[in-house]
């Protein structure tokens, strides 16, 4: 009789523990803040409601995207400059 009660108590404790872990993992996904793409006047309040770590990560991602766009733009400018300078040097050679 005592053994039966102990097994029931252990099973109950196990179920509560598993249920707690399950709800803990679901809560993290459920209460996760809405991801914002960029910071602007319209979403300033939403931005400030994010945690410090989330704001840091989002600004870091935004910085990486900006640097990538800047690199691409600089490459295009360099290519265009090479074309222009090459064309100018060919014109000077033809004039001589």
Q: Are residues 43 and 75 in the same domain?
A: yes
With tokens 């939403």, the residue in question is: 46
Residues 39 and 25 in one domain: no
29-63 tens-digit pLDDT: 544 555 666 667 777 777 778 888 888 888 888 89
Higher pLDDT, 19 or 41: 19
Residues 20 and 42 in one domain: no
Same domain, 22 and 39: no
43 shares its domain with 89: yes
Residues 48 and 91 in one domain: yes
Q: In angstroms, rounded to a whole number, what is the distance separating the alpha carbons of residues 58 and 66?
A: 12
- Spatial distance between the Cα atoms of 49 and 67, rounded to a whole number of angstroms: 26
Structural domain count, the chain: 2
Write the CB contacts of 51 (distance below 8 Å, at least 6 apart in sequence). Answer: 33
CA separation for the pair 81, 3 (Å, rounded): 86
Look up the domain containing 66 and give its range: 34-96
Enter the DSSP assignment of 41.
S
Interval 65-85: pLDDT, tens: 999 999 999 999 999 999 888
């Amino acid at each position: 009789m005592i053994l039966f009660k102990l097994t029931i108590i252990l099973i109950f404790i196990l179920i509560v523990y598993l249920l707690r872990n399950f709800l803990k993992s679901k809560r993290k996904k459920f209460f996760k803040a809405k991801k914002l793409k960029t910071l602007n006047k319209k979403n300033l309040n939403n931005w400030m409601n994010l945690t410090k770590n989330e704001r840091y990560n989002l600004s870091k991602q935004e910085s990486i995207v900006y640097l990538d766009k800047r690199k691409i733009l600089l490459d295009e400018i360099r290519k265009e400059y090479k074309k222009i300078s090459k064309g100018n040097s060919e014109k000077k050679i033809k004039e001589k």
